[in-house]
Structure 1
Amino acid sequence: MMDVLTPIVVLGLLSAASAGFVVGWWFRRRQMAGRELTLKRQFDNRLSAIEQDARQMLERARLESEAARRKIEAERDRLYSRLSKLDPEGSGIVNPSRRARLSRTRTVRKRHMRPAAAAERARARASSESDDLTRIKGIGPAFEARLNEMGYRTYLDLARWTSEDLDTLGKGLGARIRLEEWSDRAAELHSRKYGT
């Protein structure tokens, strides 16, 4: 009887081991799928949190840049208002009657001095046209337009800036601008263009 029972017992043990292996594999697979699902959910939650933080940061940056733009525009308007008070006629940066009362501190260099007839010819030619102020390093198209609005259209206009003009322009346009260098460069360009 033992001979008959041995194969049955061995077969039973093998089928139990196989069933245990299949059940263990199935449980392990479910456990792995559960972990994978949990990790995927955590990843998705973290990703959505990061996206929400990024949207909030972008919105905050947009609001801050908008506030800064409004502040800059207000300052620009305030400066234009001050400039218009200094020069109500709009012919230059400083009212001529006020300019006459101001003392001249800028010394005129010899290369800027010309005979009266040549100066009049140059003035007549310069007043009838406008020069390309963007050839002066530091002046771009936008800044050239601002200078044109203020009445400075030619190299000669810039070359004639007095120290008072430089002070007023420096306050109105910002300290970073190298106005005196611009004035010197404008004088060189005017001399080259008109030969005076």
Structure 2
Amino acid sequence: MNVKEAATLLSYVVATMPNIQDKDLSATAKAWAIIMPDISFELGQQAVLKILRDKKIPTVPLPGEIINTVKEIVNGENKINAPSDYEAWQEVRSKIDFYKPNQKWSHPAIEETIKIIGSRNICGGDYNVADRFMKVYNRIVKRTNDQYENKVTLQIIDNTPKNKSLLTFIGEHKQIVLGQKAV
């Protein structure tokens, strides 16, 4: 999302909340663009509209609210998020067959876990194969999530104005963060 797209999303917020219609939210649009560079305008629009439909108190949505709503939308539509370790293990137990190596799994983390442990070890495994599967699976999911968060953090840093650090930028716009009026 860029600044223009963030400003468009903020226009929806301003139109529905009379208490902020006289406020200058250009710094908020810049902050949203810096904090959420990985969110497309379309997903951001869906998230903001969903938040506005559910919002009971007229406040500007925080980036975390938008990000969480985007995750809910993506998970609901595309089932991108990894299943829990127990759900993954149940899928493996019901579908794994040593004689059918090219099995289709609901998430790449399940397939990677099976490659690491080995389908032969899972099919003929002893009593603790479920525990081993879940430990390896959880490490793979955590590593994938960490890599994604690191990529987003690098995008945020890249979108910060070149002549300022991120902390300097936030300090200049602290009235937004702290709810103070600019002096």
**TM range, smaller chain:** under 0.3
* Structure possessing the higher radius of gyration over alpha carbons: 1
* TM-score normalized by the length of structure 1: 0.23
